[in-house]
């Protein structure tokens, strides 16, 4: 069974709004790292974001939820690490 990555509507909209080169870099990172072994590349968050994970791609961060029962990584937010991280 393999992992799959899905984006919420809001995260997909945020991804479409960023620079095409950065968007391509994020897609390559998802295919190369996240789909192969998400448990090794997702960093758990604490505090009010407990239950969420971050996936770092350069200066961008993807806020994710991991659902082991269905082998799914759900991307909820895409933002530059200096902007929109809250």
The pLDDT tens digits for 21-72 are: 999 999 999 999 988 888 899 999 999 999 999 999 999 999 999 887 777 8
> Model-level pTM?
0.82
- For the beta carbon of residue 25, count every other beta carbon within 10 angstroms: 15
Taking the C-alpha atoms of residue 42 and residue 27, their distance in angstroms, rounded to an integer, is 15
Strand partners for 64:
53, 75
Domains of the chain by start residue, with CATH? 4-80 (3.30.2310.20)
């Amino acid at each position: 069974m393999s992992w799959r990555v899905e984006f919420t509507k809001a995260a997909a909209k945020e991804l479409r709004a960023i620079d095409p080169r950065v968007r391509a870099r994020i897609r390559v990172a998802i295919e190369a790292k996240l789909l192969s072994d998400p448990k090794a590349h997702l960093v758990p968050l604490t505090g009010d974001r407990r239950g969420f994970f971050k996936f770092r791609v350069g200066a961008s961060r993807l806020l994710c939820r991991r659902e082991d029962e269905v082998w799914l990584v759900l991307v909820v937010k895409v933002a530059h690490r200096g902007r929109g991280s809250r």
